[in-house]
Structure 1
Amino acid sequence: AANDRLHLAEIHVNIGYAYENLNNPTEALRYYTGALLIGEELNNLRIIARAAREMGNIYSQLCNEQEALRYYTQALEAAQKAGSKALLKDIYESLFEFHDENGRNEEAYQWLKKLVAIKDELYDEERTRQLIHNQIRYQTEKREEEVKLLRARELQNQIIIQNQRLQNYALIILILLVLAGIVILYNAFKRKKAYNELLEKEVQKRTAELQRYNEELAASNRQLEQSNMELERFAYIASHDLKSPLRNIISFLNLIERKVRQNPDPQLLEYLKFATDSAKQMHQLILDVLEFSRVNQDEVEMTDVDLNDTLVLALRNLKEEMSQKHAVVEASLLPVVHANSVYMLQLLQNFISNGIKYNESRIPLVQIGVEDKDDHYLFRVRDNGIGIEPEFHEQVFEMFKRLHTREEYQGTGIGLAMCKKIITKLGGKIWLESEPGKGTTFFFTLPKPQATSASANGTREQAATKTGQNADAVAT
């Protein structure tokens, strides 16, 4: 019931505002009086202060100073008891205007001072509330960012753990294959030894040869036992050093294969070939990963690299591959860039090798061009190969991303990822345009050297022209 009366008082005040705006003071006073009576009934100081102030304003407009001052005083007392600075501000403002309009300058000045003071207090309080609100919002946003960061780290850790599991599974499979080969060889050795014991009396003349053979097998067995011990420790040190153990495994498998070929067992040879190929693939993968990781080194030697000379060296390295597929490489005059010479050699070799490898044309063609922009060079490497589906244009630059099986095309899926890493490290960008069956064009940018003398440019152009001629000769 009290809430209903309070809402009724609010309605009276609002209707009074409406009549006051319509210049109908009589009706306005009637509704303000009703609101005042309800406020006194409920002892609601805020309603009393609001209604009394508005009644004072109307009596001031009607030039009834005595009634205006009485209601202003009642409003002031109610606002002070309520402790509402907002109501006090409105009443101070009405009292200031009341005295100012009636020529009482001194009283008007006193109320103006109070009005200014309470406005300053309200401003300070509002500023404090805003500051607290901003601090709370900042803390909330900070916590949200921390939660996002923690979630991102958790996801990254899960990915790392998953990759480690996959690596461990691969290592376990390789170890099992090698162990299976060792068991097969050991059983073959036992059968051979038993057979030799049965025929020992009949083959006296071959005793010395068989003895040497047994000694060699015993030495091989010791080597295999040592290899087995190394493989047992392999899982513990794999995360720190994969390269050396894999090289040992490949060497031992080659030794075993040579021994087995003296008494051929097709199934055993097939097992050995599978194990050797798997180990070599992993060894090549590790080499590529190590090369990829070297790109992340902070300090590398940066010099002015003439790409014409680098192209000639790359073509020499790929001469056998180009000769096998009758590939042709065409290149325009290339500039001098400020980079690492090894990086640039890897870059050009990867682009050219991919253009030749993923190519079913009768004569694979790779064309290298460059455009001189304001602050960088825009390079273009175009081939007439098999092309790339649009949905894979971004994915091909991811590490280990392969679009074909190893039976179709050899590779580890790191080449283009390494190209992107090198170009990004040198401050450039890389992208491609391609359609299936219509070849692929790789674009990448490299920043220009900061300062190059005119004489150096002239020398570079002469050297580049000669090198370009040499490149064409090697390419064809």
Structure 2
Amino acid sequence: MDRWKRVLSSIGPRTVVIGLGAFYIVFSLVWGSVRVQGGTPAGNVVVVSSLIGLLGVALVYGGLALSRSDIRPEFYPDVAGWTLVGFGAMLGMLVVYNSQPADSISNPARAILFLTSFSSLAGFGVGIYDARAKTRATELEETVAKLEASNERLEQFAYAASHDLQEPLRMVSSYLQLIERRSADELSAETEEFLTFAVDGADRMRRMIESLLEYSRVETQGEPLSRVELDRVLEGVLDDLHGPLSESDVEVTMDSLPAVTGDERQLRQVFENLLTNAIEYGGTGPTTVHVSATRDGPWWNVTVEDDGIGIAPDDQERIFDVFQRLHSREDHPGVGIGLALCERIVERHEGRISVESELSEGSTFSVTLPVIDTER
């Protein structure tokens, strides 16, 4: 196959298609002239000759238009190859058919010209479809490769930026604290307050950089997807959050959760973020959080439902953006990247995360995760 492509490339794929079309145009005229001179009624000859000629014109036009199409030049030989396949296949069938005396064609020249021109045009159409599909596939592969390269560069930049920025931030924070300790007796209350704000700002910037780095490395630093028992993941998160849960008077209940295909460490982050948010935004009284799952075809829909302060409808899309906050840092600390990180992790699992909520009515976060392949 590759050898034929090289041959067609050396001849010129467009030349092959245009030449075949020109062949039909010329020979339809020659055949028509011969038949008229032989006494065949001119009307019949003109109809058949015109049909063959038009099929040839269509091939010529198609060959000329290839350079203006969205097909990549490296796939032109495929178009020419399919055109010749159509021609050869029909010619072969006609030769075999005509070799049988009982089934011989009364006017083989007309049949060969008409049927092979039609099959050549059909082959050209198949070739166009095939070449266009290969063009799309190649462009998609190139786009994916560019995105992967871009993501790799972004990750390298994020890592370098985080490493280079954190060191001066640590230095700023350390020296500010050193000034505060050594000059505590000489500083006014207002100056001490300013120093506290400066140290807090440096620490907050460091946490934002660390969070941004973690966000940028979800794809490249994740573990291969495998079987994950969500019951075990959630139990581990509840053990880690035992102190905050007790202090905030939050009760977590759960149904039996399924096993899914995923990255256990990253799914643990998702549950930890969602439960931490439920604790943080649980309101002033006792809060109940319920975790459950339902099957929906090849997906598990895992929900985390709380009866906390809720989210306004206009803010429900915005909360998944990086560094988007709905409340002041004095009321609710944090860098505002937790739900954006959850969304990126869930997207890596080819799922999605969404929220349904009303102010003062609580929130329900839904996460879709793939069912294990053997259970589909």
TM range (shorter): 0.5 to 0.7
Please give the alpha-carbon distance, in whole angstroms, between the structure 2 residues aligned to 1:301 and 1:110.
Answer: 74
Tell me the equivalent position of 1:252: 175
- State the 1:348 CA deviation: 0.8
- State the 1:416 CA deviation: 0.7
Tell me the equivalent position of 2:282: 359
- Correspondences of 1:198-237 after superposition (within 5 Å): none
- State the 1:112 CA deviation: 4.4
Tell me the equivalent position of 1:307: 230
Q: Deviations over 1:437-466 (max 9, x none)?
A: 2111011111122348xxxxxxxxxxxxxx
Please give the alpha-carbon distance, in whole angstroms, between the structure 1 residues aligned to 2:182 and 2:324.
Answer: 38
Tell me the equivalent position of 1:377: 300
- Structure 1 stretches lacking a partner, 5+ long: 1-84, 100-104, 147-152, 158-163, 168-236, 453-476
Asked if the contact 1:377/1:448 (under 8 Å) is kept, the reply is yes
Residue identity matched to 1:349 = E
- State the 1:133 CA deviation: 4.7
Q: 1:274 to 1:114 in 2, by over 3 A?
A: same
- Correspondences of 1:183-198 after superposition (within 5 Å): none
Calculate percent identity across the aligned residue pairs. 30
Tell me the equivalent position of 1:122: 54
2:208 paired with 1:285: yes
Q: 1:131 to 1:239 in 2, by over 3 A?
A: farther
State TM-score, norm by structure 1.
0.49
Please give the alpha-carbon distance, in whole angstroms, between the structure 1 residues aligned to 2:342 and 2:230.
Answer: 15
Residue identity matched to 1:274 = F
CA RMSD between the two structures: 3.8
Higher helix share: 1
Q: 1:115 to 1:449 in 2, by over 3 A?
A: closer
- State the 1:326 CA deviation: 1.2
Q: Deviations over 1:295-315 (max 9, x none)?
A: 121651444332223222212
Runs of 4+ in 1 over 6 A off after TM superposition: none
Tell me the equivalent position of 1:6: none
Q: Deviations over 1:332-366 (max 9, x none)?
A: 12222332222122111100111121222401221
Residue identity matched to 1:120 = I
Q: Deviations over 1:16-55 (max 9, x none)?
A: xxxxxxxxxxxxxxxxxxxxxxxxxxxxxxxxxxxxxxxx
- State the 1:275 CA deviation: 0.6
2:354 paired with 1:431: yes
Tell me the equivalent position of 1:294: 217
Asked if the contact 1:361/1:384 (under 8 Å) is kept, the reply is no
The alignment partner of 1:249 has SS state of: helix
The alignment partner of 2:356 has SS state of: strand
State TM-score, norm by structure 2.
0.61
Please give the alpha-carbon distance, in whole angstroms, between the structure 1 residues aligned to 2:373 and 2:331.
Answer: 45
Asked if the contact 1:358/1:386 (under 8 Å) is kept, the reply is yes
Q: Deviations over 1:143-173 (max 9, x none)?
A: xxx9xxxxxx9xxx9xxxxxx9xx9xxxxxx
- State the 1:390 CA deviation: 1.8
2:258 paired with 1:335: yes
Tell me the equivalent position of 1:323: 246
Q: 1:298 to 1:119 in 2, by over 3 A?
A: farther
Please give the alpha-carbon distance, in whole angstroms, between the structure 1 residues aligned to 2:248 and 2:196.
Answer: 27
Q: 1:389 to 1:263 in 2, by over 3 A?
A: same
- State the 1:130 CA deviation: 4.8
The alignment partner of 2:373 has SS state of: coil
The alignment partner of 1:313 has SS state of: helix
Q: 1:283 to 1:382 in 2, by over 3 A?
A: same
Tell me the equivalent position of 1:417: 340
Asked if the contact 2:273/2:342 (under 8 Å) is kept, the reply is yes
Residue identity matched to 2:244 = E
- State the 1:399 CA deviation: 1.4
Residue identity matched to 1:334 = L
Q: Which has the higher contact order (CA 8 A, sep 6+)?
A: 2
Tell me the equivalent position of 1:54: none
